[in-house]
Amino acid sequence: MSFLITGFGRSGTSFLSSVLNQSPSWTVMHEPRGSTDEKRFKRGRTYSSRAKHAFSKDNYGEVNSFMRFWFDTCNADTKGVIIREPKEIIVSAHNRSHRVRKSYQDRVNKTTELVDEVYYFYNKFIKWSAQPNIIQIQFDQMIKDVTYLKTIAESLGIVDIDWSNFDSNNIRKNKNRVNPYNSFDELPNQIKERVELNENK
């Protein structure tokens, strides 16, 4: 049995994979092929044989944002998507340390370009998760509700995590070391205008 959970970057994929990988009988990976899955798709190549082989294993799972491009093609037995409010993703992406090092305008331009893709996939995630066989995972609930995390694990077939001493604060989370923008309202107008265009489509 295998599973794939996808979502957009900055949606808790690293956190969730760390939680699920506490199972002694499952191997749960976070983006094991790096950005290769995304690059293959954008170069018009076929679904990776490495990915196909990985999902043919027993008790194997991935929480992998790059597999959003191959969600329909993936041969995993169970699939799920993480839903996070697009504006929160955009703020988090804009605050990433490697973006902070860029010039102000270059950083704004890069985030503005990202907005269209965030909304494109957000709409796809909503459609996918409306299907009865796809698990919808709410980011805000996942990061603070242990009972909810346990339900997610069990729906994937993972039933041997020891939750008795579980503390989500001990789980690795990708945090921005620099947070120049604390909320969406503080972002530069160029980014906010692109978001408004997408929300009014």
| Residue 26 belongs to domain with CATH number | 3.40.50
Residue 192 belongs to some domain of the structure: no
With cut-offs at 50, 70 and 90, classify the pLDDT of residue 173: low
Does 57 or 175 have the greater pLDDT score? Answer: 57
Strand partners, 82: 137
Residue 184 belongs to some domain of the structure: no
Number of domains comprising the chain: 1
Residue 164 belongs to some domain of the structure: yes
Q: What is the mean pLDDT of the chain?
A: 91
DSSP string covering 88-130 = HHHHHHHT-HHHHTS-HHHHHHHHHHHHHHHHHHHHHHHHHHT
Q: What is the pLDDT of residues 94-123, one digit of tens each?
A: 888 655 567 888 888 999 999 999 999 999
Residue 154 belongs to some domain of the structure: yes
Residue 187 belongs to some domain of the structure: no
End-to-end CA distance of the chain: 39
Residue 109 belongs to some domain of the structure: no
Residue 194 belongs to some domain of the structure: no
Alpha carbons 187 and 38: distance in angstroms, whole number: 27
pLDDT of residue 182: 86
With cut-offs at 50, 70 and 90, classify the pLDDT of residue 180: confident
- Residue whose entry in the numeric block shows the structure tokens 């990985």: 54
With cut-offs at 50, 70 and 90, classify the pLDDT of residue 178: low
Residue 174 has pLDDT above 60, yes or no: no
Q: What is the pLDDT of residues 31-44, one digit of tens each?
A: 999 999 999 999 99
pLDDT of residue 97: 60
Domain that holds residue 139: 2-86+119-179
pTM of the model: 0.90
Residue 199 belongs to some domain of the structure: no
pLDDT of residue 96: 80
* Cα 142 to chain centroid, rounded: 12
pLDDT of residue 159: 96
